[in-house]
Amino acid sequence: MTSYRASARGETFRFDDLAAVMAAASPERSGDQLAGIAADSALQRVAARRVLMDLPLTAFLNEALVPYETDEVTRLIIDNHDRAAFAPIASMSVGEFRDWLLSPAADRAALRALAPGLTPEMVAAVSKLMRNQDLIRVSRKIRVETAFRNSIGGTGVLASRLQPNHPADDPRGIAVAVLDGLLQGAGDAVIGINPASDNLGNCHAMLTALDEMRAALDIPTQTCVLTHVTNALTLIERGAPVDLIFQSVAGTEAANDGFGITLAMLAEAQEAGLSLNRGTIGRNVMYFETGQGSALSADAHHGVDQQTLEARAYGVARAYQPLLVNTVVGFIGPEYLFDGKQIIRAGLEDHFCGKLLGLPMGVDVCYTNHVEADQDDMDNLATLLAQAGVNFVIAVPGADDVMLGYQSLAFEDIAYLREVTGLTPAPEFAAWLQAFGLAGQDALPDPGALARKLGLPA
């Protein structure tokens, strides 16, 4: 294991290994401070970034941050690394890679071809050398398109997950929230419920209700009840109308063990989802959720900084060709992202790292009520992400998820983002909105027509 040294303003700093360099180079983050691995000072952070700047990208192929022998995520990353795709940048340092990413040579085609040759550790390292505007400039160049009943991620498209959670899983309450979201153009990425109860019968009933609602309105979208992957497999066996298979994933084997999953289990779930053939225009059937701090909260971080482990979670997701991936960036709490500034930075980092690895990256622009953040911070992050080309964001009624108890975006925020950026919904969904008079500021919406089809008071 190699140790590293660098100086800043005449003071020399020593880093015991590559994981220590990565942690010290990270922007200030309460989670890394909680883990005792953050830089002690701004000078030490600068010194660590100097080490990273000159570090060959190949170092990440030669020195595993989490041991190969004991971690299946590391084995997945190393064993699936595409050396042919990596070849064009194999001689670069991390600093040179940053300069190349910001150059005209790193166009859409080059970045798409490069993605299989990048490891999560490489993209995490280069992100630590970038300003927020750098993260936006590079992310904006990358398009990752996926499809199931509609196509997401195309040029000029901003999709959204309609999240109609209800504290009692009441079908009528969920239906009203869905109608509210549809009236404001939300729901093209997925109509996805976090169930208050993971009871299989309850999940089956909600899946059926969502599918009936989608079919009654002929909505070109997909639905999902965000239950554990093992529940999804059982529901498939019972004949439930499962569109997408959801799972939270993390960047180490031990953290995934805390979620009750293995990589083999995810592969089995993907095969089960594909066997249903429910997609009409595509076969991306997986939906993954991540968040900085999950490995640390499970005491499964191996001394690695939370942003690098987040990127490793994207290495897991990438193996299963998902329709959707999103970071719930501010959901875990101030122990990991203390305030609005840290949440904004983390959201841009997560989006950048996911897109660079070839993922259809979305963000839940969110915070909990005990974080030093507010809705203005979320407005800022959402606007920046829209400019950065995020595939989708999440929205809930009134920006307040009354079941999970946190703050996200409201359905109105989706309309705002599209208005100020000129972005549109997924094309198939946009045509559906147009048919109901719900597209464009000059449209004449007919909420009664939707309500009547859902069996609700018009």
User: pTM of the full predicted structure?
Assistant: 0.95
pLDDT of 451 reads 66
3-state secondary structure of 128: coil
- CB 114: neighbour CB atoms within 10 A? 23
Return the residue matching tokens 């059937």.
285
Q: With 60 as the cut, is the pLDDT of residue 446 above it? A: no
First CA to last CA distance, the chain: 68
Quick one: pLDDT at residue 1? 72
Report whether pLDDT(125) > 60.
yes
Q: Which amino acid is at 90?
A: A
As a whole number of angstroms, the distance between CA 178 and CA 447 comes to 12
> pLDDT tens-digit profile of 389-422?
999 999 999 999 999 999 999 999 999 999 999 9
10 HSE (CA, 13 A, CB side): 0
Who has greater pLDDT, 263 or 453?
263
Residues 9-37 have a mean pLDDT of: 96
Give the lowest-confidence range in 99-103, 235-239, 432-436: 432-436
- What is residue 103's three-state secondary structure? coil
For every residue of 387-449, DSSP letters joined together read: HHT-SEEEEEGGGEETTTTEE-EEHHHHHHHHHHH--B--HHHHHHHHHTT-SSTT----HHH
Residue 447 has pLDDT above 60, yes or no: no
| pLDDT band at residue 436 under the 50/70/90 scheme | confident
pLDDT tens, residue by residue, 250-259: 999 999 999 9
Mean pLDDT score of the chain: 95
Q: How does pLDDT run across 284-334, given as a tens digit for each residue?
A: 999 999 999 999 988 999 999 999 999 999 999 999 999 999 999 999 899
Percentage, residues of the chain above pLDDT 70: 96
pLDDT at 444 (0 to 100): 42
Q: What is the pLDDT of residue 7?
A: 86
Note the pLDDT of residue 2: 87
Q: How confident is the model at residue 229 (pLDDT cuts 50, 70, 90)?
A: very high
HEC-encoded secondary structure of 273-320: HHHHCCCCCCCCCEEEEECCCHHHHCCCCCCCCHHHHHHHHHHHHHCC
Q: What is the spatial distance between Cα 313 and Cα 307, in angstroms, rounded to a whole number? A: 10
**Is the model's pLDDT at 449 over the cut of 80?**
no
Portion of the chain with pLDDT greater than 90, in percent: 93
pLDDT digits (tens, 9 = 90+) for 359-397: 999 999 999 999 999 999 999 999 999 999 999 999 999
